[in-house]
Amino acid sequence: MTARRAVVTGLGIVSPVGIGADATWDALVSGRSGIDRITLFDTTPFEVDVAGEVKGFDATQFMEPKDVRRHDRNTHFAVAATGEALRDAGLLGDDGHVNGDVDADRFGMVFGTGIGGIGMLLDGQKTLDERGPRRVSPFLLPHMLPDSASGQVAIQYGIRGPNMAVVSACATGGHAVGEAMEAIVRGQADIMLGAGTEAPLVPLAFAGFGQMRALGTPRDPDTGEYDAAMASRPFDATRNGFVVSEGSAVLVLEELSHALARGARPIAEVIGYGSSADAFDMAAPAERGEGNQRAMRAALARAGIGPDGVDYINAHGTSTPLNDKFETMAIRDVFGEHADRLAVSSTKSMTGHAMGAAGAIEAFVCAKVVSTGCIPPTINYRHPDPELTLDYVPNEARAADVRVALSNSMGLGGHNSTVILRRFEA
């Protein structure tokens, strides 16, 4: 029996650097930052006032106004990115549902989020405090849950197969793409969405990250002048914290023979997936990225390739001192001498850190890298850290023959996920 293969046939994204795949990719390869002052709430009391906010997004372009009012912003992003991915894959019918010639019972999704509908939750608490329990919305509970986005996506597009929402903090998006691949390979579905979504830009979450002293400061490290775009500078010696961001990315994964039978165009192939836990600390990464190492090794084994088979790594690269140091160590420990031949970049330098959506956004990047032969840069890289000596593709995009790309994601609680994508070859 021929082994089942999971190929990517559609991409959709809503990100701080662009709404849609073309706009996002153009910004990333141009080195444009989406990090700017927050407009969603008053930042006067906060020490840091920047984020990767999705600007100019109108949810009513993608959902009925009544549904927009009832759902959290993270669901708005999910519906929008899914619609683009389905159109890209040739799966969206004229009625707005999945094409009638596709078996919707064999079409599912793993749609992850780290925080879920936190905006709705806080609005509900405010209503309870100010107006009493009888004024709380009946939509609050079903629409604030982590699976609200996956539920609404299924309803809006008529997707009736396996449906789940994974939650593993900042490793969520990688887990979603990997588990979607596994559902196809084991024969549970013919088409799956591997996706993540997040909308954490609310005062409470921002205050919490601030109290952790985890946020990067919007200052030019050389001049001390205010510069929002300089807040995220992964692997740079002056890095001092990450930038919270929002958005959603959706990959349509499809069993290869199913895709070819309907004339779909494979963009890339998902060939490896690994997952691990640090079992070390709720916030700090394990020494030398030991948990990340095990996830990468597991993904390589699942893909059936050795370390020298990887050409590019989209790093977790958050711009925090310990993450970037230990991820670099993990890459060196796993890849040995081949580490010096790898291109490694962090697109979080431009997008910020979209938490549960980050792994899906970066899987989107890997799919584009292997299909276009262009590697987006790590911007704001001015001061090499003598301890971090990989090729971080500094400041400018690079044309390269990338056949295999690996994406790392790590989350609070010690969660790790790694996915590997390959250029599609028949």
Per-residue pLDDT tens for 172-193?
999 999 999 999 999 999 999 9
The Cβ of residue 276 has, within 10 Å, a number of other Cβ atoms equal to 23
- Average pLDDT in the chain: 97
Mean pLDDT along residues 9-35: 98
The C-alpha atoms of residue 91 and residue 100 are separated, in whole angstroms, by 9
Dihedral, CA of residue 374, residue 380, residue 385 and residue 391, to nearest 10:
10
Contact 174, 14 (CB under 8 A): no
pLDDT at 426: 78
For 352, residues 6+ apart whose C-beta sits below 8 A from its C-beta are 16, 34, 35, 51, 52, 232, 242, 243, 244, 245
The C-alpha atoms of residue 24 and residue 93 are separated, in whole angstroms, by 25
The class of domain 6-268 in CATH terms is alpha beta
Domain limits, the chain:
6-268, 272-423
Whole-Å CA distances, 415 to 64, 274, 282, 338: 36, 11, 9, 26
Q: Is the pLDDT of residue 154 over 80?
A: yes
The per-residue pLDDT for range 44-57, each reduced to its tens digit, is: 999 999 999 999 99
* Angle at CA of residue 16, ends 382 and 269, nearest 5°: 90
The per-residue pLDDT for range 286-343, each reduced to its tens digit, is: 999 999 999 999 999 999 999 999 999 999 999 999 999 999 999 999 999 999 999 9
Q: Which of 170, 258, 366, 415 is catalytic?
A: 170
pLDDT at 232: 98
Q: Which of 76, 143, 258, 353 is catalytic?
A: 353
pLDDT at 279: 96
The C-alpha atoms of residue 25 and residue 368 are separated, in whole angstroms, by 8
Q: How many CA atoms lie within 13 A of 376 on its CB side?
A: 29
Closest CA to 198 of 234, 124, 146: 146
The per-residue pLDDT for range 388-398, each reduced to its tens digit, is: 999 999 999 99
Closest CA to 26 of 422, 354, 350, 391: 350
Q: Is there a catalytic annotation at residue 71?
A: no
Enumerate the β-bridge partners of residue 255: 6
Q: Is there a catalytic annotation at residue 366?
A: no
Beta strand spans in 199-282 (E): 247-255, 268-277
Q: Which of 71, 76, 316, 415 is catalytic?
A: 316
**CATH of 272-423 given 3.30.300.130, 3.40.50.620, 3.40.50.11540, 3.40.47.10:** 3.40.47.10
pLDDT at 100: 87
pLDDT at 1: 63
Mean pLDDT along residues 346-350: 98
Q: Is there a catalytic annotation at residue 353?
A: yes
